Amino acid sequence: MYDIIIIGAGTAGIAAYKEAIKKTQNILIINDGSWDTTCARVGCMPSKILISTANRVYDIQHADEVELTVKAQIDTSHVMQHVQSLRDRFTKATLKDVNSWEKSHKISGKAEFIDAQTVQVANQKYQAKSFIVAVGSTPSFNREWKESLGDLLITSDQIFELNELPKRLAVIGSGVIAIEIAQAMHRLGVETTVFARSEKVGSLTSPTLQKNAIEVLSNELNIKFKVLPEHVQKYRNKVKIEFTEHGQSQQLITDYLLVATGRDSLLNTLKLQNIDTSFSDITKLPIDPHTKQLAQLPIFVVGDAFTSTPIQHEAAHEGRQAVQNCLNFSKLKNIKTLTPLGIMFSSPEMAGVGQNFKSLTHQKTAFVTGYASYEKQGRAIVNGKNQGGVEVYVDIKTRKLLGAELFIQSAEHLAHLLAWMVGQKLTVDEVLDNPFYHPTLEEGLRTALKHARRQLKAV
Ligand SMILES: Cc1cc2nc3c(=O)[nH]c(=O)nc-3n(C[C@H](O)[C@H](O)[C@H](O)COP(=O)(O)OP(=O)(O)OC[C@H]3O[C@@H](n4cnc5c(N)ncnc54)[C@H](O)[C@@H]3O)c2cc1C
Ligand SMILES: NC(=O)c1ccc[n+]([C@@H]2O[C@H](COP(=O)([O-])OP(=O)(O)OC[C@H]3O[C@@H](n4cnc5c(N)ncnc54)[C@H](O)[C@@H]3O)[C@@H](O)[C@H]2O)c1
């Protein structure tokens, strides 16, 4: 009997293995499919390569933002090769690591539970004192549409495999994946149309920043809000989409349909109902949000498989932390301990830190919002990127910084600073006691913090 069986070798499973091997050699990791992680193969890395290249094209074509006249000829014919070769560099690094592990610790194949102590892979049974379940998720899509469109319906699992940039792309969804990829494709010269079921873009929950983001992004991108395809079909090896806009029936011919409408957990592949029949509905599993324990069992579910924050660093953190709970069962520690931090790599970037506007409002927390627009922010003007704004949320009683939302260029850096401040439970006064260099984007953050402090004084 193994000390731990880890199911899934993505970000969370690999982090769990690397932590567990420091404590015990009596471990097994089972993975169905490729051992190079969703993040490196079809997620974080290829998407960021595409976005970075697209933003370079944009900056060359918009040099007039800083009064430069540039006559450039941009050849995008190697973009997909660039995405793939750089992506391969990252996946190779992961595979090199995995290949260095003891062979007898690894099994390829789909794991299914037989009971709470036993899993089966291709008719072979394996038992463990504890399990770390890190099976991740997969893109959701309409099966009927897939049947009629075949390879022309793609998800984030396929888009980075295209040999060349398409001429035209339709995207369904206006969440994180949809907007990141749609904006990048548009900037690379792909005629891109986004179908959004609601009037919302990306991850922001603040109504002010959301409104601003809709304005800014729809100035650049063709986003059809509250419009969804009604019928799709293959037409001369293209995709024909029928939809209704402003009360009129319309149609659009495009090369591919990218479906980015969320991801489904792969927990349903594990036959958890063999442990307890009540586990057959994976959306209702009794998983403790803090310890990630399934019911009272020595089974811990980590990463994207069951989370409201499907992001890489959380998956890795949960994978590592779960090992302690397995080896010290049943003395459990909370796994979910990181300050919330989410960054969306649109342009301008969106970020959320700590508690967001929506959760603070729902919990009826007594807080003030400090706001700063970046339209007139000195450094942003100098950079020719003066769009968006930031909001900081401060507790009225304790004056502590509770969270922030950002929609500005380079939000990724400010968001980290803010996450570290929120994690240290600093008050707005303590944050403002720190140096703010001139001229920097951080000065805009100071404006927002001061705005919040003025309201506290007024309360
Ligand atoms: C397009 C895209 C862009 C992204 N960009 C970012 C980003 O910029 N920043 C960020 O933080 N996050 C990003 N993410 C999210 C990030 O990739 C995920 O949060 C992270 O990869 C989750 O890791 P995981 O270990 O939970 O799952 P995965 O890495 O998906 O690993 C799960 C593994 O389990 C295996 N498995 C499934 N079922 C079984 C079974 N029954 N038996 C055995 N093995 C099984 C799977 O095959 C897979 O290998 C992005 C995701 C996508 C799709
Ligand atoms: N930068 C990053 O950190 C990053 C990048 C990409 C993905 N991710 C992670 O991956 C997760 C999944 O991303 P995602 O974009 O697939 O999910 P999402 O939840 O961000 O967006 C889903 C979108 O699909 C729409 N939608 C859902 N069902 C629909 C339906 N039936 N018809 C039409 N539209 C529908 C929603 O309205 C929304 O616009 C994200 O939550 C994020 O945590 C992170």
Q: List, for residues 243-253, the tens digit of each pLDDT value.
A: 999 999 999 99
Q: Calculate what percentage of the chain has a pLDDT beyond 70.
A: 100
pLDDT at 336: 75
If you take atom 29 of ligand 2, which residue's CA is the nearest one? Answer: 261
pLDDT at 176: 98
CATH topology of domain 2-139+264-327: FAD/NAD(P)-binding domain (3.50.50)
- What angle separates helix 176-187 from helix 207-220, to the nearest 10 degrees? 30
Task: State the average pLDDT over residues 265-281.
Answer: 98
d(CA 310, CA 182): 20
Every domain of the chain with CATH number 3.50.50.60 lies at 2-139+264-327, 143-261
Ligand 1 pocket mutation, candidates 38, 321, 347, criterion most atoms within 8 A of CB: 38
pLDDT exceeds 90 at position 413? yes
Task: State the average pLDDT over residues 398-421.
Answer: 98
pLDDT at 312: 98
pLDDT at 50: 98
Task: State the average pLDDT over residues 56-81.
Answer: 96
pLDDT exceeds 80 at position 373? yes
pLDDT at 382: 96
Using an 8 Å Cβ cutoff, are 221 and 197 in contact?
Answer: no
Every domain of the chain with CATH number 3.30.390.30 lies at 341-458
- Please tell me the pTM assigned to this model: 0.97
300's CB contacts (< 8 A; 6+ apart) are 130, 131, 132, 133, 291, 292, 293, 294, 322, 325, 326, 335
pLDDT exceeds 90 at position 458? no
pLDDT exceeds 90 at position 279? yes
The reply to whether 451 belongs to the active site is no
Task: State the average pLDDT over residues 268-289.
Answer: 97
pLDDT at 337: 83
Task: State the average pLDDT over residues 63-77.
Answer: 95
**pLDDT tens sequence across 208-228:** 999 999 999 999 999 999 999
Binding site listing: 48, 173-180, 262, 304
Residues near ligand 2 (Cβ within 6 A): 172-178, 180, 197-198, 228, 260-263, 310-311, 343-345
Label residue 85 exposed, middle or buried (CB < 10 Å: 0-12, 13-18, 19+): exposed
**How many angstroms separate the alpha carbon of residue 263 from the centre of ligand 2?**
7
Q: How does residue 310 score in pLDDT terms, banded at 50, 70 and 90?
A: very high
Task: State the average pLDDT over residues 338-350.
Answer: 98
Tokens of 30: 């089972």
The CATH homologous superfamily for domain 143-261 is FAD/NAD(P)-binding domain (3.50.50.60)
Give me the amino acid identity at 379: R
- ipTM of this predicted structure: 0.98
CATH topology of domain 341-458: Enolase-like; domain 1 (3.30.390)
Task: State the average pLDDT over residues 257-267.
Answer: 98
pLDDT exceeds 80 at position 13? yes
